[in-house]
Amino acid sequence: MTTQAADALLQKATRLDADDPLARYRGLFVGAVTELSYLDGNSLGRPLKRTAGDITTFIQEGWGGRLIRGWDEEWLDMPQAIGDQLGRAVLGAAAGQTIIADSTTVVLYKLIRAALAAVGDPARTEIVVDTDNFPTDRYLVEGIAREEGLTLRWIEADPASGVHLEQVRQALGPATAVVLLSHVAYRSGHLADLPAITAAVHDAGGLVVWDLCHSAGSVELQLDEWNVDFAAGCTYKYLNGGPGSPAFAYVNDRHLSGLAQPIWGWMGRKDAFEMGPGYEPAAGIRGFLSGTPAIFGMIAMRGTLDLIEEVSMAAIRQKSRQLTAYALELHDAWLAPAGVMLATPRDPDRRGGHITVDHPAFREVTAALWERDVIPDFRAPQGIRIGLSPLSTGFAELHRGMAAIRDLLPGV
């Protein structure tokens, strides 16, 4: 590459940062305005600076000041209150359908089992899942199929192109009960056609559980409008809830009446503090709770939800598309000539908030990058995932990170 071409790429990053309407929000995140290049926001988001104050206030005034009274005064209502805010700001979901609950794995287990119960047809004995879905999703349906004597129907997914509508249609049939898919593929960043796939599954008589872990907070969603049945997602990626922050569950209102989830715990009981015999689930989405809510994680994510409501998911998605487009431009200019392969769709309408690039040296390159304060993540067998969080990632930061990958490639 000529010096002039290299200068043009850097000038473009500078121009994109200058023109970015979200650039002023970067300073709200801890460590975002430094020389460190953080390209893993789709694994763990940066904390907001206000989070330290929010948690300190909670410790001193809520936990330390109100003590056990805090449960009655606020904490018991937080799973649904923050769930409603998340639904409004991020999911396109009306109130009363989203709740903050357990880990993603536990939430998905509850939703898959609830979906199977909602189908209610003993002739529907198949769960459809794809071979490249996130491990938790695959392991869960394997376990549930074993528990319930069901059959798994696997969609053979190309890790670089994801699951497409026609593949789903071919897997559907009169035995289809539940389909479990990820909206954004965790490896490639492929963005599935959620509305069309959901409609196809419904036409075949089945229900869909969507994993939104890599789309909630980076891709616009309209779960109510798209007639989604069930959805789950984590909150430590684009929602910045912190390591291990609790996941959310979405259940469309049309399924809530009379629907039970399989993990009966005291917090999901109609009258949790009666402590009486027998289990009667709480009405509505609260019945999808099981144990004591994780208050710290909900406090941490509240700041990001406030920020998303201020900014709008439309603006966040626009910057996400710009970031991934610039990442592809850098890949084509710097990495492709060195033998790096793109494992992400080029079509921006089929691409989420991260890209993946493949090269046999990337396991060793990733370790060296971390030593240089350039932090992507490695995905076996040979992928580097470039995760771009629109509220906290800048274009010059992305430029620095991609340049470091280029410089560490053997033979470059």
Residues forming the active site: 134, 211, 236-237, 385
Burial class (CB in 10 A: 0-12, 13-18, 19+), 225: exposed
Q: In a 3-state reduction of DSSP, which class is residue 364?
A: helix
Q: Is 134 annotated as a binding residue?
A: yes
CA dist., res. 74 & res. 284, Å (int): 19
Q: Is 38 annotated as a binding residue?
A: no
Determine contact, residues 89/305, Cβ cutoff 8 Å.
yes
Alpha-carbon distances of 407 from 306, 334, 356, 402, rounded to whole Å:
39, 9, 18, 9
Structure tokens at 117: 């119960």
State the sign of the Cα–Cα–Cα–Cα dihedral 247, 252, 253, 258: negative
Query: Cα-flanking dihedrals φ and ψ of residue 73, to 5°?
Result: -80, -30
Torsion angle of the four alpha carbons 222, 45, 310, 227, in this order, in degrees rounded to the nearest 10: 10
CA dist., res. 239 & res. 242, Å (int): 9
Helices 78-86 and 295-311, packing angle to 10 deg: 30
CA angle 114, 74, 25 (to 5 degrees): 85
| Residues in the chain, total | 412
Q: Is 164 annotated as a binding residue?
A: no
DSSP 66: I
Nearest to 162 by CA among 138, 183, 135, 141: 183
Q: Is 236 annotated as a binding residue?
A: yes
Q: Is 176 annotated as a binding residue?
A: no
State the sign of the Cα–Cα–Cα–Cα dihedral 372, 375, 377, 382: negative
Determine contact, residues 151/145, Cβ cutoff 8 Å.
yes
Q: Is 136 annotated as a binding residue?
A: yes
Q: Is 214 annotated as a binding residue?
A: yes
Q: Is 34 annotated as a binding residue?
A: no
Q: Is 292 annotated as a binding residue?
A: yes
Q: Is 366 annotated as a binding residue?
A: no
Q: Is 75 annotated as a binding residue?
A: no
Q: CA neighbours within 13 Å on the CB side: how many for 288?
A: 37
Residue list, annotated binding site for pyridoxal 5'-phosphate: 104-105, 134-137, 211, 214, 236, 266, 292
